[in-house]
Amino acid sequence: MTVQLNHTIVAAHDKRTSARFLADILGLEVSPQYGPFIPVEIPNGVTLDYMDSPDTITPQHYAFLVSEDDFDTIFARIQAAGLTYWADPHHRRTGEINHNDGGRGTYFEDPNGHNLEILTRPYGSGG
């Protein structure tokens, strides 16, 4: 059985700005517009298709598993951009990272209020 998550739509106030934000933070490329979407392809094959939404955007959660080296690079970009970051999904531990499952993780928001996360160990992998 071969089932893979291929793409999902991410609601944005400004799809170009939002796609660029994610790509710049994670070190990825923004793909050419496809229909109403501005795609950002994640290296594991999932594409996030940013689409303008005229409505109030309900924040969603997108978590990116990264290597320890990539965490250093991405976290440096988060700090250099002056973004607020939190150790927890409820944004109580401001300016901290977590060490869940023996790795590192942190949360930050995109321009639409989507709750983004980078983590170096999958949930529950710490034994």
**116 near Fe ion (CB under 5 A):** no
Give yes or no for residue 117 binding Fe ion (CB under 5 A): yes
> What part of residues 35-74 is at the interface with Fe ion (CB under 5 A)?
63
Q: How far is the CB of 92 from Fe ion (least distance, A)?
A: 15
Residue 49 vs 117, nearer CB to Fe ion: 117
Q: What is the DSSP letter of 101?
A: G
Q: Give the neighbor-by-neighbor strand order of the sheet with 7-12.
A: 7-12, 47-52, 38-41
Q: E strands, the chain, where?
A: 7-12, 38-41, 47-52, 61-65, 85-86, 105-109, 115-119
Q: To the nearest whole angstrom, how small is the minimum distance from the Cβ of residue 38 to Fe ion?
A: 24
- The site that binds Fe ion (CB under 5 A) totals a number of residues, namely 2
> Does 109 sit near Fe ion (CB under 5 A)?
no
Fill in the amino acid letter for 53: S
Nearer to Fe ion, 110 or 117 (CB): 117
Output the smallest distance, CB 24 to Fe ion, in A: 21
Nearest Cα neighbor of 69 from 40, 104, 98, 97 is 104
| Residues lying near Fe ion in the complex (CB under 5 A) | 63, 117
